[in-house]
């Protein structure tokens, strides 16, 4: 069965299609109750956003012509595969004056592509490297 594309009418998915909101451990949103929390049946992993949820939000954003938002959500979907330490390292590199050369950002781009199959994030870091180089943002600012 082919699913119809999501549109603005499907937002928010948790309300319009609650059975479609499934956590990383396979629990549906409806199982995340106060009782299940008290009983210890809910972990932080059950509360994390999933790549599928972000992809669905990107689909809705695309349907209303918000291509930049859709791109950000797709990239965020990839980032769910990265450990928190890698996310923070990339965040630090993207702050102006933190990366010391184009190579720093290109190495990060290759790392996320090769280690985490994060192609869109790698492309974003490549673009940042070029932009930072053009704007002179590799020099230490502080």
pTM, two decimal places = 0.83
32 and 102 in a single domain? The answer is no
Whose structure tokens read 């980032």? 79
41 and 96 in a single domain? The answer is no
The number of distinct structural domains making up the chain is 2
Q: H/E/C letters for each residue in 17-57?
A: CHHHCECCCCCEHHHCCHHHHHCCCCCHHHHCCCHHHHHHH
**pLDDT for residue 142 is more than 60:** no
71 and 85 in a single domain? The answer is no
62 and 86 in a single domain? The answer is no
Taking the C-alpha atoms of residue 3 and residue 1, their distance in angstroms, rounded to an integer, is: 6
* H-state helical runs in the chain: 13-16, 34-38, 44-47, 51-63, 67-79, 84-94, 102-116, 119-135
Tell me the pLDDT tens digit for each residue of 91-117.
Answer: 999 998 889 899 999 999 999 999 999
Taking the C-alpha atoms of residue 61 and residue 63, their distance in angstroms, rounded to an integer, is: 5
Tell me the pLDDT tens digit for each residue of 6-62.
Answer: 999 999 998 998 888 898 888 988 888 999 999 999 998 888 899 999 999 999 999
63 and 89 in a single domain? The answer is no
Structural domain for 52, as ranges:
1-80
Tell me the pLDDT tens digit for each residue of 54-83.
Answer: 999 999 999 999 999 999 999 999 999 999
5 and 74 in a single domain? The answer is yes
């Amino acid at each position: 069965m082919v699913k119809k594309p999501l549109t603005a009418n499907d937002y928010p998915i948790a309300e319009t299609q609650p059975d479609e909101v499934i956590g990383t451990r396979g629990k549906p949103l409806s199982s995340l109750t106060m009782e299940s929390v008290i009983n210890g049946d809910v972990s932080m992993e059950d509360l994390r956003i999933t790549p599928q949820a972000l992809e669905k939000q990107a689909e809705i954003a695309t349907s209303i012509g918000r291509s930049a938002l859709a791109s950000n959500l797709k990239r965020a979907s990839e980032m769910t595969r990265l450990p928190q330490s890698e996310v923070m390292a990339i965040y630090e590199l993207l702050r102006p004056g933190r990366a010391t050369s184009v190579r720093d950002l290109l190495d990060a781009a290759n790392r996320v592509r090769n280690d985490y199959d994060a192609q869109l994030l790698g492309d974003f870091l490549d673009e940042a490297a070029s932009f930072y180089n053009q704007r002179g943002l590799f020099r230490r600012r502080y």
